[in-house]
Structure 1
Amino acid sequence: MSQPAHLTQGAKAEDSALAYLQQQGLKLVDRNVRYPFGEIDLIMRDAQKWVFIEVKFRQSKQFGGAIQAISQGKIERLRRAASHYMQRNNIDAQCRFDVVAIDANEINWITNAF
């Protein structure tokens, strides 16, 4: 699948993460949901569970890799955005927070990351 040249590395990483998660059986609900206080890269369903996903991409693991790039502040903003999304959409269901860390071409999916 070729991708338009104008896509950023981050957008390409999100597309790769989405394709990978769909292959694992998750269903896309929404993506790139932005609020003034935080954003959610991917929102998916894993059976009855809602999954809020942070996608991180790094060219290499030289400085700790993608997983090391997730700060406590980022986690708090993601939790706040997910809570707001669930309230706005009247969702009363279990949820979890996953991370898809992509280092070069290696994909690591961490479920229940925080």
Structure 2
Amino acid sequence: MTEAEERTMRKAERGRRAWHAGAAAEESVERLYLRQGLTVAARRWRKGGGEIDLILRDGDGVVFVEVKQAPDFERAAARVTERQIARIHAGAAHFLAGEPKGELTPCRFDVALVNATGETRILESAF
């Protein structure tokens, strides 16, 4: 195997590990919201140029959740970019268009931070 092929395989393995870590963080955050009485409307929802990790229902309202996993909370928070926020807002507008009250549906945008030990911090109405 060439050195370039080995680098490609290592990169692919890091990508797989990152994907699994992100999926585990999302599942953990989902369980946290479910214990609070919310219900899942969608997971990894994509439309309108945006992807939203979790969309939950809280009574008549909708909660859009971006999950960020990193070694610590500070680095996880730093991974929420302005471009990403714009994509989440765009996706949320498409989701809300399918709701009975449309964009008049009460909603909020949370960020769930997950550190290396699995601890979670929820930043309600983060943006």
TM-score by length of 1: 0.85
Structure with bigger strand share is: 1
Structure with bigger helix share is: 2
Stretches of 4+ aligned residues off by more than 4 angstroms? none
1:1-114 alignment to 2 at 5 Å? 8-35=20-47, 37-58=49-70, 60-61=71-72, 64-87=74-97, 89-92=98-101, 93-104=105-116, 105-114=118-127
Q: Which structure is larger by alpha-carbon Rg, 1 or 2? A: 2
Give the drift of 1:36. 5.7
Q: CA RMSD in A?
A: 1.8
TM-score by length of 2: 0.77
Number of aligned residues: 106
Q: Which runs of 5+ in 1 are unaligned?
A: 1-5
Share of identical aligned residues, percent? 35
Q: Which runs of 5+ in 2 are unaligned?
A: 1-16
Alpha-carbon distance in structure 2 between the residues aligned to 1:28 and 1:78: 17
